Amino acid sequence: MELDEYQTVAASADQVPLSAGEELKSIMVPLLGLAGESGSLLAEYKKRLRDGESYIVFKEQVREELGDLLWYIANLATKADLSLDEIAQFNIRKIRDRWMPLSSTKLESFDAECPVTERFPRKFEIRVAEQSGGDDAAKVTLAYNGNAFGDALTDNVYIDDGYRFHDVFHLAYVAVLGWSPVMRGKSFFNCKRRSDKKKDRNEDGGRAGVIDEAITALAFVEAEKYGFFENGGSVSSTLLRTIRDVTGPFDVSSCSAADWEAAILLGFKVWRDLKKAKRGVIVGDLDKKTLEFVSS
């Protein structure tokens, strides 16, 4: 049976259809039904835990409770003028975006058609060193092919939180997503896509760079609440939705939320190692979508 077909049949058994003056009752009855049937489903699992295999009607009871839940969901969908098929398709897209990385199968980067000078290097090694500044604030310097890579950075905060190493997050975006307007800048890889004026201005320009930095700052704030993912964990769906929203106009919008999570978690793994060691080499491989830290 198709979902929409089930929804049509289920609607014929509605005892409180939408009608003038009864809208609240018509919605509250199936909402309360969902709550009640959820409790009944929990009760079945309680009996299963208590009685084990001797509770032989467990599967049949769960099937019945899930069926009741499905009926109430279909009823609410009908009253919201939505189809179950549409809801299911939307949910599948959401699941794929959140939990199924696309970048693992993506064969082409965002700059594959550009001149060589406008492409991210497929492999790179960035040397990182920490030094004490004149004001006693620890500074971090990066070098690529023997040249300075960006500016020397401090935490710019009262408490030492290691944010001075945050360029590693941008490098993780490069390695996993093939994206980072900041890293395309002149003081970094210097590979803005200048041959395409629209991309140069809109995708690799100042506004895109600000968004790149904002994503990094937001991810850092969230990670700090969870021990910088030292013991694993996941990036909140709220942050991932925000990232998808603000990157909507850019080519990176084709990457999934799962891709973003992979990039962020990988960046923090390398960041944690680097923060402990203070110096070393960051090794990136865009073909393998990896970023590693090698202490020196």
Residue given tokens 């009908």 in the structure block:
78
- Whole-number Å distance between alpha carbons of 253 and 114: 19
Quote the pTM value.
0.83
Mean pLDDT of 23-48: 96
Percent of the chain with pLDDT over 90: 82
Q: Where exactly are the structural domains of the chain?
A: 3-99, 116-295
Give pLDDT, residue 136.
Answer: 66
pLDDT one-digit tens code per residue, 223-268: 999 999 998 889 999 999 999 999 999 999 999 999 999 999 999 9
Residue 43: HSE in the Cβ half-sphere, 13 Å Cα cutoff:
9
- Whole-number Å distance between alpha carbons of 174 and 183: 8
Confidence of residue 107 (pLDDT cuts 50, 70, 90): very low
DSSP category for residue 251:
G
Give pLDDT, residue 135.
Answer: 60
- Whole-number Å distance between alpha carbons of 220 and 216: 6
101 vs 6, which has greater pLDDT?
6
Give pLDDT, residue 221.
Answer: 95
**Mean pLDDT taken over the chain:** 92
pLDDT one-digit tens code per residue, 168-216: 999 999 999 999 999 999 999 999 999 999 999 999 999 999 999 999 9
Give pLDDT, residue 133.
Answer: 59
Q: Which CATH class is domain 3-99?
A: mainly alpha
